[in-house]
Amino acid sequence: MQIYTGNFYLNRTFKYLYPALTLYGNELIDKLRILTKLAVGIGDSSIHIEKQCIYVLLDTTTSNISFDSYRIKIQQFLEWIREQPYYISDYLCNLSEYNNYHMVVIEFPRNRHTIFNNFIKGKYSRMYTREEIYSIFGNQKLENKTNEIIVNKKLEEVRNVLLRDRITVEKHLGEVNRDFNSKLTLEDFKEPLEADYPIKLSEEIFNYEKIKDDLWN
């Protein structure tokens, strides 16, 4: 992961897995929404936690409001989440010598491990039921209509991946053929082709150290 202050790192954890935290209700997501997030992931190689978790990297400074006001919001959030049943840990995270980052570790819903496991396998179409997809990734109504159009377009793209939409699968097949200089058809795959590439651990795990000769991750 390439983390930079002021920029959000968009990865597959954020697109396909992080929204499932709404299974705990809206309060958690609503509280996280007002904080400056830099990235989310499924692990941090610098610590050892066996449970399936979502790691949320927060910037403890922001240019949107005063420093003191924002630090109060951060502290209030940390005090609140430490009392929640899904709280696992939080700690200062030094990804470079110049940063003010704080990591919050949230346990993924225990009764929904199938979602997490299929995400790891790149089986996005097996993560959620159709009803869950439209509930968790449904269109939003926003005061700013321009932002609403942008957000809902992105949500539609995610739904198309999770639903394994035929057109989206065919577009991904074209991407595969371009990236690997191949001429595959959908019939060439032993299992149905998903509508997006499997995850790369280096894009989903903080402080990930690549293994020699592992050309994918």
Mean pLDDT of successive 10-residue segments in the chain (217 residues)? 84 96 92 91 92 93 70 91 96 70 94 94 96 92 84 94 96 96 93 95 91 72
Q: Which pLDDT belongs to residue 67?
A: 67
H or E, element range at 70: helix 67-81
Q: Which pLDDT belongs to residue 212?
A: 75
Angle (nearest 5°) at CA 78 between 76 and 80: 70
Please, what is the angle between helix 67-81 and helix 26-33, to 10°?
A: 160
Q: Which pLDDT belongs to residue 199?
A: 96
| Global pTM value | 0.91
- Lookup: tokens for 86: 């899904």
Q: Which pLDDT belongs to residue 99?
A: 66
Q: Are 36 and 58 in contact (CB under 8 A)?
A: yes
Q: Which pairs from 164-167 meet CB under 8 Å and 24+ separation?
A: 164/124, 164/125, 164/192, 164/194, 164/195, 165/195
DSSP structure class, residue 83: T
- Lookup: tokens for 193: 């082709």
Q: Are 93 and 128 in contact (CB under 8 A)?
A: no
Cα 24 from Cα 105, distance rounded (Å) = 15
Q: Which pLDDT belongs to residue 65?
A: 62
| Rounded alpha-carbon distances, angstroms, from residue 9 to 2, 3, 13, 117 | 7, 7, 10, 22
Q: Are 17 and 58 in contact (CB under 8 A)?
A: no
